[in-house]
Structure 1
Amino acid sequence: MNDELRHLKNLGKTSTQWLHAVGIHTISDLRRLGAVGAYRAVQLRGFRVSKVLLYAIEGALQDVHWNDLPAERKQALLGQLDAKS
Structure 2
Amino acid sequence: MSTPVSSIRNLGPAVERECAAAGIPDAETLRKLGAHEAYRRMLASGTRPHFIGYYVLHMALQGRPWNDCKADEKAKLRTAFDALKAEIPATPKHDTALLRALDEIGVIEKPT
**TM more than 0.5:** yes
Higher relative contact order (CA 8 A, sep 6+): 1
Runs of 4+ in 1 over 6 A off after TM superposition: none
Which structure 1 segments of 5+ residues have no match?
Answer: none
Give the aligned CA root-mean-square deviation in angstroms.
2.0
Identity across the alignment (%): 33
Aligned-partner residue type, residue 16 of structure 1: E
Equivalent residues in 2 for 1:12-31, closer than 5 Å:
12-31=12-31
1:1-85 aligned within 5 A: 3-84=3-84, 85=87
TM-score norm. by structure 1 comes to 0.79
Instruction: Provide the aligned length of Structure 1 versus Structure 2.
Output: 84
TM-score between both structures, scaled by the size of structure 2: 0.63
* Alpha-carbon distance in 2 for matches of 1:3, 1:64: 19
State the structure with more CA Rg.
Answer: 2
Give the helix-richer structure, 1 or 2: 1
Instruction: Give the gaps of 5 or more residues in structure 2.
Output: 88-112
